[in-house]
């Protein structure tokens, strides 16, 4: 079970709201990193057929129950189990920073995305407050104080179903890095940067509340605050980065 997933399904994420506004209509859309499918239904109106992919088999079982008419496939972004030119649009929200090889994942995205197709990608920005990344801070504490972390883990559900073995560190990217990684196969059409220090601090609070209390009412207010901060644009200082790219010939 993903912490706070019911609230996220109801409210959506800031990244999803931007992606929906950017995506053109199409025939086939792939959601890479769909997890338990709590955001999948938001993409259903953007394509005739939506497909979800995730490497977490347990999360996909929840996704199939949540969206019975959507095909879900277990696999990794670095080895997409699809034929060339299979999709008109691909959505990768908060995924590339988790991959074992970001370049291999983008090569695969290019392969399965048709010429002229759309890629929407979001990732943590290498901004002013990247050091506050709650996942990275938690992993740092785990490595530096393993005994204390283990003792705390007996009282609090520090590990959730969304975490798989490949998630050891969240990478943060600068826009220039993403452009260089996508060149020459993609042209960047739109860029969005949003959120500042409030975003990672609220995300960390959500994680604690979901584990200690799991109150839907409190989580709703926290997610609303998270989405509100995401929609404030701070340019290069921002905590979040999104791009809309088009595959070139």
- Give the Cα separation of 232 and 176 in Å (integer): 21
Q: What global pTM score does this model have?
A: 0.91
pLDDT confidence of residue 163: 46
Q: Is the predicted pLDDT of residue 211 greater than 90, yes or no?
A: no
Q: What's the domain count of the chain?
A: 1
Spatial neighbors of 145 by CB under 8 A, at least 6 apart, are: none
Q: Are 72 and 52 in contact (CB under 8 A)?
A: yes
Mean per-residue pLDDT for 90-99?
A: 96
More confident residue, 73 or 154: 73
- Give the Cα separation of 158 and 145 in Å (integer): 14
pLDDT confidence of residue 240: 98
Q: Is the predicted pLDDT of residue 168 greater than 80, yes or no?
A: no
Sheet containing 72-74: order of strands = 72-74, 47-54, 26-32, 87-93, 113-124, 240-247, 186-194
More confident residue, 208 or 82: 82
pLDDT confidence of residue 152: 65
More confident residue, 142 or 131: 131
Q: Is the predicted pLDDT of residue 180 greater than 80, yes or no?
A: yes
Mean per-residue pLDDT for 170-178?
A: 96
More confident residue, 183 or 141: 183
Mean per-residue pLDDT for 26-36?
A: 95
Output the six-digit token pair for 49: 């057929």
Spatial neighbors of 35 by CB under 8 A, at least 6 apart, are: 2, 5, 54, 56, 59, 63, 162
Q: Percent of the chain at pLDDT above 90?
A: 76
pLDDT confidence of residue 150: 74
φ and ψ at 186, to 5 degrees? -130, 150
Domain of residue 14, residue span: 5-247
pLDDT confidence of residue 3: 64
**Average pLDDT across the chain, whole number:** 91
Mean per-residue pLDDT for 199-209?
A: 91
CATH number at residue 87: 3.40.50.150
pLDDT confidence of residue 145: 85
Output the six-digit token pair for 248: 């070139």
CA distances 212 to 105, 184, 193, Å, are 35, 47, 31
By CB neighbour count within 10 A (0-12 exposed, 13-18 middle, 19+ buried), where does 219 fall? Answer: buried
Residues paired with 186 in a beta bridge: 247
Mean per-residue pLDDT for 82-98?
A: 97
pLDDT confidence of residue 141: 86
């Amino acid at each position: 079970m993903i912490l706070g997933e019911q609230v996220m399904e109801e409210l959506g994420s800031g990244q999803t709201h931007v992606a929906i506004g950017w995506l053109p209509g199409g025939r086939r859309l792939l959601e890479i990193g769909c997890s338990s499918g709590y955001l999948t239904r938001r993409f259903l109106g953007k394509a005739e057929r939506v497909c979800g992919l995730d490497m977490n088999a347990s999360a996909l079982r929840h996704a199939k129950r949540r969206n019975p008419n959507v095909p879900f496939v277990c696999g990794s972004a670095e080895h997409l189990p699809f034929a060339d030119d299979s999709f008109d649009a691909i959505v990768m929200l908060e995924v590339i920073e988790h991959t074992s090889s970001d370049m291999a994942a983008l090569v695969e995205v290019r392969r399965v995305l048709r010429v002229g197709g759309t890629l929407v990608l979001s990732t943590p920005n290498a901004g002013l407050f990247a050091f506050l990344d709650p996942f990275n801070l938690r992993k740092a504490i785990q490595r530096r104080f393993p005994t204390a972390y283990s003792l705390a883990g007996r009282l609090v559900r520090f590990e959730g179903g969304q975490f798989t073995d490949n998630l050891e560190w969240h990478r943060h990217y600068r826009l220039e890095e993403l452009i260089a990684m996508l060149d020459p196969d993609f042209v960047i059409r739109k860029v969005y940067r949003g959120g500042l220090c409030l975003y990672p601090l609220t995300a960390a609070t959500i994680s604690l509340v979901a584990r200690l209390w799991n109150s839907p009412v409190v989580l709703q207010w926290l997610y609303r605050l998270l989405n509100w901060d995401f929609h404030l644009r701070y340019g290069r200082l921002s905590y979040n980065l999104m791009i809309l790219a088009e595959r070139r010939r």
